[in-house]
Structures are given as structure tokens and as C-alpha cells.
Amino acid sequence: MRDVGHLTYDDPMTDRRDSLHKHPRVTIEAASELISVDIPTLREWVRLGDLVIEQQGDMEVVQLDVVTALASRHRAARRGTFHNRLREAEGSPSSGEVVSVVDLQELARDREG
């Protein structure tokens, strides 16, 4: 009872999770492209001790999950700074109002006109 390309009930099922890496390593260029963070930022995180670059042959590799976590933390911090600047700006929406790109565009139009 074998069909080419199909497992049947009498075939042993192998655990395919063993082929997945829990902490995949990718080149620094691939990490930069996948996570949308420029390479100088990645190197800055290395300088600060937040990220480790490993040499594998002639390639520099990093753990993708570490880069993802650092990028997420960096974006959240930057978003917080943006919201704080908006709140402090003269004529900005009050703290009870939602601050969005639309609010920012409206504020810019009001300042121009």
C-alpha cells in the first residue's frame, strides 16, 4: 500500500521537527534584509554587546531570533520617542486623543497654513 510521494498509515511517521533549527543562523546580509535593519545598525548592536557575529568560513552569521528581538525592541523604543515628541509639540493632540500618522499630517498642514 504505497503511493509515490504519500505516506500511508502503515509507514512510520518520522519527527520532522528535528530538521528545523530552534535558533537559525543566517548571514548578516540576510538578517539585514529579512528584518529590515541596515547592516551598520547590526554592527552597532555588536559593538554594544547585544548581538554576536560568528565567523563560519568566510561568512559572518548571526542568530536570526536575536536580531528579530533587538529590532522589535528598537522599533518600540523609537515609536515611544515619536509619540512623546508629538505630545510635547505645540498644537499637538491632547493625551486623550489617538496619535497617528493622520494626526501628524493634519498638524503639519495646520502649521503650514
Reported as a single tens digit per residue, the pLDDT across 23-82 is 689 999 999 999 989 999 999 999 999 999 999 999 999 999 999 999 888 776 666 666
Residues in CB range of 20: below 8 A, 6 or more apart: none
The rounded distance, in Å, linking the Cα atoms of 105 and 86 is: 12
Cell for 5? 510521494
What angle do helix axes 28-35 and 39-48 make, rounded to 10 degrees? 110
Question: Which domains does the chain show, CATH number per domain?
Answer: 16-112 (1.10.1660)
pTM beyond 0.75: no
